Amino acid sequence: MNSKIKRILKKKNKSQILCLTAYSKNFAEEVDKYADITLVGDSLGSVLYNYETTKKVTLTNMIDHARSVRIGVKKSLLTVDMPYNTYRSNSAALKNAKKILKETKCDAVKLEGGKKIISQVQCLIKNKIPVMGHLGLLPQTAKGKFRSKGKTEKEKKKLINDALMLQKNGVFAIVLECIKTSTAKQITNALKIPTIGIGSSKFCDGQVLVTDDLLGLNNTKIRFVKKFVDLKKFIRLGIKKFSLEVKSKRYPSKIHSY
């Protein structure tokens, strides 16, 4: 087992796991200083390409961005989302996961779903490919308006069963997205592996957010997103200063010229 995965497993019930997204080397270098897991998420579809759904994200998209991120990641566990339609069958899952690992040198892949994809999970783990699970709101297959999960007894039972099934078949952690607090807490307590929440309460073993969201680079109004800094303000300030110095011919000065 990967030593970084062992480190994450040991954090269960001891200390919170930090997971953040990165889609480029520059962001990855900063994320890596704090994160236990750096995730190249298919959220890059909406964040970078303005796609309305992650279904449009391709394997090439994921590999290209993950290769850039790999340059900036030194200590955290680099995990890459397998995009929509790349794990429809065992053979497709294995072929595409191998391609991702080979071309990006990442440490693990992440798949969305429980019982429906358990055969693919088994296939990957059997072939020594580390897998992170993802339950609750599943953006790749969600239809209509996104809504939270685990409110009804039926949903709660299914989520718990799926989580236990994923654990039994070897995933090292599970992302819980937009799951009702009491259900997320129950799942976390039922598992020996860590849960990483996004919109699923403080009772998970860790938290993940899209880095661009917490930095205020996206104008998102999703309930679980908190803007920790307004980075756009500083970007505007830097560009404004550049503009003023160019127009006044203060830049480039002698020190910035050959």
Residues recognised as catalytic: 177
Q: How far is CA 111 from CA 80, 182, 204, in A?
A: 9, 24, 19
SS3 call for 109: strand
Burial 159-185, CB ≥16 within 10 A → b, else e: bbebbeebbebbbbbbbbbbbbbebbb
What sections of the chain are H helices per DSSP?
3-10, 25-31, 44-49, 59-72, 90-104, 118-126, 153-168, 181-190, 211-214, 231-247
Q: Is 90 exposed, middle or buried (0-12, 13-18, 19+ CB in 10 A)?
A: middle
In sequence order, the β-bridge partners of residue 173 are 132
Which residues lie below 8 Å from residue 218, measured CB to CB, with a gap of 6+? Answer: 47, 210, 212
**3-state secondary structure (DSSP) of residue 16:** coil
Residue with tokens 């996206």: 218
DSSP character at residue 31? H
